Structure 1
């Protein structure tokens, strides 16, 4: 294991195998963890498979907008100069990088699973999943400008989800091999792992033997036994098809009883049906099997709120904020729980913390306006009115952004 390049922002780590005629260059996905004292994306899998790998690791979730990326990629290119095959590889944020840096890395091919074209609000106003990060990041035109890729990358994605518009933008600028797997969720890596297709995909793309038509056919045939597919299909059912959605969610849990995604979807269906006791139990199980992952903690907390168990929900909010202290939407969510508990001053403090972390979010202002109206109607001292003026002053100096999904769900 050798560091080919290191700066405060990025590390390029080489993990060669016996065969150095082919290399996979990986990029981190969102949430892989801060710093560099950790494995690179796919490191264990590639090492065990006897594949030489170079792992490009970012300091945080910055979509690799670092001025030294050209130098980092030059180090990759030097290390693989004698190789027969070089493939860039990543999922979600890492897939964005696999496309953007394929040429700079000297790649013959690229495998991008559920990539973004960009998350810069100026370029993709439809993208609302990483709003706080999108406003925080300084987008570099030499990295996030017009997409150029000399090879023809293989892109796997769910056309029924939020990734579809990104793929259309990508396809308008470069020639790709699209592999659309409907209802495979974001990222499609989960579906590929569950159905046993990921390993063959990686090796076939790396070798140049990938057959997109045959792969799509096989992926379609395996979906009936996929909890990922059934869970996503359940999520997309309209309210009038509640029974169908519930049946799909139950089937997903039968296939994978310890899948936190399937448990969470079924839990939401139970909650919508008014069975809050069962909903909480399912979300609690999802939290346990996910080893208390942040998204499961939030869903569990929302189920507790719906069940009227606010003190328990607040404890989970504190736990998830400890995991992700820089996420403003979690502070806003905690504020809403505190408000429902009648803890006005702590609720104000929590929303102030959210504003300080992300002053671009107009949803906070809208929610506070509603709070102010309630405060005045109930004869309160107008505390939220004072905070509202503070938010308006902050908002005047920043750009507006789209909705925060967790804030909507908590409301």
Structure 2
């Protein structure tokens, strides 16, 4: 059932005929998910796990600037009241949206690598093309309504821009949030965690039981066999001019990957960086 379609953002309620859970999950589309006729973010995963869903989708990279908090609340709160509990979940842009809108329906919030790349106070986040197209009026998380329920945020502190955004924007706005570090997982952390088999359990642990695991400890025994973790480490080595180590790590990532093309491109980037360094 469509709850809202304002021409840019679409909000739909999905009733699961095989529902076994009394928590409603609200998910927000991440970057590159710009087709509201397609399945929503996390839709298949949560339906399989027995949940009803509200999926928030978009038609372009908007960072949900078109969607007012009151508009979201009025569209979703009546449905949310039919459930024992509500949880909002998103990744990167979607994680920003979960933090921005989740408090208006008093939801618990799971935010993985939250980032609002068009925030006027953080020009170093880039996204110049989108900044030129959008009027950024809903970026300050300090202005967002706050939930009484738990907020759990996971990010990689080794990603400089993520760490900056966490330190200067998110932590001041959500001082009581539980924050878990995923060192070396990159942005977004979900890719690495999923490849390690950690993402699904993390999400369900929080949505079902509000458990907030030690992600860094869970990463440690698995990272040496994670192509994403190895590629992220290779990138850091290359930035320190440790090119032989970086290339070796890329080769290992390629050997471990089921789809090596992404990691081969990472290796090519290291080779180009090395060539530039040698030419100087």
TM-score per shorter chain, which class?
0.7 to 0.9
**3-state SS in 2 of match to 1:163:** helix
> Per-residue deviation at 1:20?
5.5
- Contact 1:80 / 1:86 at 8 angstroms: preserved in 2? yes
**3-state SS in 2 of match to 1:216:** helix
| Distance change >3 Å, CA 118–CA 264, structure 1 → 2 | closer
What corresponds to 1:146 in structure 2?
Answer: 143
1:26-105 aligned at under 5 Å gives the runs: 26-34=27-35, 36-105=36-105
| Distance change >3 Å, CA 67–CA 96, structure 1 → 2 | closer
> Per-residue deviation at 1:68?
4.5
Larger Rg: 1
1:105-124 aligned at under 5 Å gives the runs: 105-107=105-107, 109-116=108-115, 119-121=118-120, 123-124=121-122
**3-state SS in 2 of match to 1:72:** helix
1:157 aligns with 2:155: yes
**3-state SS in 2 of match to 1:236:** helix
How far apart, CA to CA, are the structure 1 residues paired with 2:140 and 2:2?
A: 23
1:250-265 aligned at under 5 Å gives the runs: 250-265=251-266
Return the structure number with greater relative CO, CA threshold 8 A, min gap 6: 2
Which residues of structure 2 form unaligned runs of 5+? none
Structure with greater proportional strand content: 2
How far apart, CA to CA, are the structure 2 residues paired with 1:259 and 1:97?
A: 32
| Distance change >3 Å, CA 184–CA 39, structure 1 → 2 | same
Which residues of structure 1 form unaligned runs of 5+? 275-305, 307-411
| Distance change >3 Å, CA 144–CA 272, structure 1 → 2 | closer
Greater displacement, 264-273 / 233-242: 264-273
> Per-residue deviation at 1:152?
3.2
How far apart, CA to CA, are the structure 1 residues paired with 2:150 and 2:34?
A: 30
1:186 aligns with 2:182: no
Equivalent of residue 127 in structure 1, options 125, 131, 144: 125
| Distance change >3 Å, CA 240–CA 8, structure 1 → 2 | closer
**3-state SS in 1 of match to 2:4:** strand
1:356-371 aligned at under 5 Å gives the runs: none
How far apart, CA to CA, are the structure 1 residues paired with 2:241 and 2:75?
A: 56
- Contact 1:231 / 1:261 at 8 angstroms: preserved in 2? no
| Distance change >3 Å, CA 246–CA 204, structure 1 → 2 | same
CA root-mean-square deviation = 2.2
| Distance change >3 Å, CA 134–CA 105, structure 1 → 2 | farther
How far apart, CA to CA, are the structure 1 residues paired with 2:109 and 2:260?
A: 30
Greater displacement, 174-183 / 92-101: 174-183
Structure with greater proportional helix content: 1
1:190-339 aligned at under 5 Å gives the runs: 190-213=191-214, 215-237=215-237, 238=239, 240-271=241-272
| Distance change >3 Å, CA 143–CA 273, structure 1 → 2 | closer
**3-state SS in 1 of match to 2:40:** coil
1:391-406 aligned at under 5 Å gives the runs: none
